[in-house]
């Protein structure tokens, strides 16, 4: 009976509350209702002073379930900041990643500090019904599922004091994204890409356009044989470029930079490209123009490249006819592109679409070139004077770097790299003799041209064991070239006949 009385009293109390709620809503003016709601809201905030930010792995609130980039960034951030001393972590290694990445296991917590603000991170997991969109997003991020009609939904929860609301939302979250991007750049395996040959009917999707291999070239700015002033200038220019994203946006220019590396064969153009990629930790796209079928295919190759990359065209003067148009018109040489198409139409021969100079110019500095940011374009050539001036103007080739024959400073660098010895490492008994040989070689280098590649080949023959013999071999070769008679200069008639033979062979 007493229990029945207690339940009846509770029912009366609830009914009274409902009547009061209806009366307050119907008879109190809206202004007073808002004041009461604000009062109770502040009271609730005073009693519960903790804010919570939830970061779901899959965002399905907008209708389309897509992977949440912030979730992945937060896991990367926690792996580098908070999980080193954690008693339990989850390790994951992707196929192309050189090292595993730690993440916070489900239903575990860790504390991070940002500007002396304590922030508690907790990893949650629960099973939710799945539709086709969430199943697709789950497969993209690698989430497992308990069955066909449900998936494991994971999330991260940040809890902090309410007075730090501004710092967390406006400073801490952007800091997480920035740090995660830095971690991805350092952890990713850099690749060397080359474009595939295209034939009629081939698939030309982005994943098919390029093939790649791991990029492991050892060249660095410490090992390349360049003048120290030029080396420091190039390094400073590259580092300034990657740090000026906001500047390029403010002045209205695409975030790219063009380099023309020119000089005789064996002067280190390819090694410099590798050193640039290693300095900036960029991928390399080695574009072979002879396998590109058309200007439109060239544009597809361009937009399929990724940021933080170097697009290289080696020996561009040999890959395509990009010679000076003005000189050809003055010499009455090659027919123009319109004349070639007209000739093909008259002969009723099917015209095969090819790359033109205009297509290459638009590729370097047209509208499509701005589709991918933070990218370098590097062209190499042995004969820059043969290229059309339109290709070399600022905006297309921002820096023109000439790499010449081996100089004394570069010779010292090569000796240190290949012989494993510097002046401070020479033994007392061989030091004076080696120094005399080095000095003699440096004098001859000022009189006789020789490429760094040739010097390196002579050093490699010693395998770092016979430094004196290797330097002696270089001195003898320089002396031989100095004493050799100069080669005969070709006469104009011979030059004309050579040009005719080249045209017939081409």
Render pLDDT for 468-486 as a digit per residue (tens, 0 to 9). 888 889 999 999 988 887 7
pLDDT band at residue 45 under the 50/70/90 scheme: low
Give the containing element (helix H, strand E) for 122: strand 117-129
State the Cα–Cα distance between residues 464 and 415, nearest whole angstrom. Answer: 9
Name the residue among 369, 422, 420, 418 with its Cα closest to residue 398: 369
Q: Which residue has the higher pLDDT, 199 or 485?
A: 485
At residue 504, the pLDDT reads 46
SS3 sequence, 257-309?
EEEEEECCCCCCHHHHHHHHHHHHCCEEEECCHHHCCCHHHHHHHHHCCCCCE
Give tens-digit pLDDT for 236-280.
999 999 999 899 889 988 899 999 999 999 899 999 999 999 999
Output the CA torsion 389→391→397→401 (10° steps): -60
463 is written with which tokens? Answer: 């395998």
At residue 342, the pLDDT reads 44
Give 156-168 as a DSSP string: EEEEEEGGGHHHI
Please determine, for residue 451, whether its predicted confidence score (pLDDT) is greater than 60: yes
Give tens-digit pLDDT for 366-386.
777 777 788 999 999 988 888
Please determine, for residue 202, whether its predicted confidence score (pLDDT) is greater than 70: no
| Sheet order of strands, 109-114 included | 50-56, 150-161, 117-129, 109-114
Alpha-helical segments (H) within 305-356: 316-319, 325-331, 337-346
Give tens-digit pLDDT for 53-106.
999 887 765 455 577 888 888 988 888 877 766 777 777 776 656 667 777 888
Name the residue among 485, 474, 419 with its Cα closest to residue 451: 474
Name the residue among 473, 471, 474, 305 with its Cα closest to residue 376: 305
Of 140-154, 284-298, 344-358, the range with the highest mean pLDDT is 284-298
Please determine, for residue 397, whether its predicted confidence score (pLDDT) is greater than 70: yes
State the Cα–Cα distance between residues 182 and 185, nearest whole angstrom. Answer: 5
At residue 376, the pLDDT reads 93
Please determine, for residue 141, whether its predicted confidence score (pLDDT) is greater than 50: no
Please determine, for residue 174, whether its predicted confidence score (pLDDT) is greater than 80: yes
This prediction has a pTM of 0.63
pLDDT band at residue 430 under the 50/70/90 scheme: low
Average pLDDT, stretch 224-236? 92
The pLDDT > 70 percentage for the chain reads 70
Average pLDDT, stretch 288-295? 85
Q: How far is CA 194 from the centre of its chain?
A: 15
Give tens-digit pLDDT for 348-364.
434 445 777 777 887 78
At residue 146, the pLDDT reads 46
At residue 464, the pLDDT reads 53
At residue 346, the pLDDT reads 41
Name the residue among 380, 417, 383 with its Cα closest to residue 401: 380
- Residue bearing tokens 């202004």: 31
For 481, half-sphere exposure in the C-beta direction (CA atoms, 13 angstrom radius) is 15
State the Cα–Cα distance between residues 274 and 282, nearest whole angstrom. Answer: 10
Q: Give the three-state DSSP class for 130.
A: coil
> What does DSSP say about strands 256-262 and 399-402: parallel, antiparallel, or unpaired?
parallel
Q: Residue 376: CB partners within 8 Å, gap ≥ 6?
A: 238, 241, 256, 257, 258, 259, 276, 280, 282, 309, 310, 311
pLDDT band at residue 488 under the 50/70/90 scheme: low
State the Cα–Cα distance between residues 162 and 47, nearest whole angstrom. Answer: 11
């Amino acid at each position: 009976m007493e229990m029945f009385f207690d339940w009846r009293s509770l029912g009366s109390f609830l009914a009274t509350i409902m009547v009061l709620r209806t009366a307050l809503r119907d008879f109190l003016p809206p202004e007073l209702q808002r004041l009461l709601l604000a009062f109770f809201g502040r009271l609730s905030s005073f009693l519960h002073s903790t804010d919570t930010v939830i970061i779901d792995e899959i965002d399905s609130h907008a209708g389309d379930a897509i992977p949440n980039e912030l979730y992945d960034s937060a896991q990367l951030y926690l792996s580098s900041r908070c999980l080193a001393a954690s008693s339990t972590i989850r390790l994951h290694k992707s196929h192309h990643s050189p090292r595993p990445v730690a993440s916070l296991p489900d239903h575990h917590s860790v504390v991070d500090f940002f500007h002396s603000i304590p922030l508690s991170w907790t990893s949650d997991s629960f099973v939710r019904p799945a539709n086709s969109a969430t199943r697709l997003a789950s497969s993209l991020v690698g989430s497992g599922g308990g069955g066909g009609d449900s998936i494991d939904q994971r999330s991260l929860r940040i809890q902090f004091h309410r007075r730090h609301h501004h710092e967390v939302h406006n400073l801490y979250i952007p800091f997480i994204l920035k740090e995660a991007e830095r971690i991805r750049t350092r952890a990713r395996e850099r690749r060397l890409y080359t474009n595939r040959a295209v034939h009629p009917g081939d698939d030309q999707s982005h994943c098919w356009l390029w093939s790649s291999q791991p990029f492991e070239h050892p060249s660095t700015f410490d090992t390349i044989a360049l003048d120290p002033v030029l080396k420091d200038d190039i390094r400073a220019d590259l580092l300034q470029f990657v740090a000026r994203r906001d500047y390029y946006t403010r002045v209205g220019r695409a975030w790219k930079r063009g380099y023309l590396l020119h000089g005789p064969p064996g002067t280190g153009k390819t090694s410099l490209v590798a050193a640039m990629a290693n300095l900036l930790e960029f991928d390399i796209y080695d574009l072979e123009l002879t396998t590109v079928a058309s200007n439109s295919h060239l544009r597809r190759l361009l937009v399929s490249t990724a940021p933080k990359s170097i697009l290289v065209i080696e020996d561009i003067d040999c890959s395509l006819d990009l010679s000076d148009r003005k000189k050809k018109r003055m010499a009455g040489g090659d027919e123009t592109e319109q004349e070639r198409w007209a000739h093909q139409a008259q002969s009723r021969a099917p015209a095969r679409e090819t790359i033109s100079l205009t297509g290459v110019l638009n590729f370097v500095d047209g509208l499509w070139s701005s589709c991918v940011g933070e990218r370098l374009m590097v062209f190499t050539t042995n004969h820059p004077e043969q290229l059309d001036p339109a290709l070399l103007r600022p905006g297309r080739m921002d820096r023109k770097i000439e790499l010449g024959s081996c100089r004394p400073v570069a010779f010292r660098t090569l000796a240190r790299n290949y012989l494993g010895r510097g002046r401070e490492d020479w033994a007392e008994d061989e030091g004076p003799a080696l120094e005399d040989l080095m000095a003699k070689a440096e004098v001859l280098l000022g009189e006789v041209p020789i490429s760094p590649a040739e010097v390196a080949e002579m050093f490699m023959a010693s395998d770092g064991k016979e430094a004196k013999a290797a330097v002696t071999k270089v001195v003898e070769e320089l002396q031989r070239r100095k004493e050799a008679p100069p080669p005969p200069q070709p006469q104009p008639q011979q030059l004309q006949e050579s040009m005719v033979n080249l045209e017939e062979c081409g």
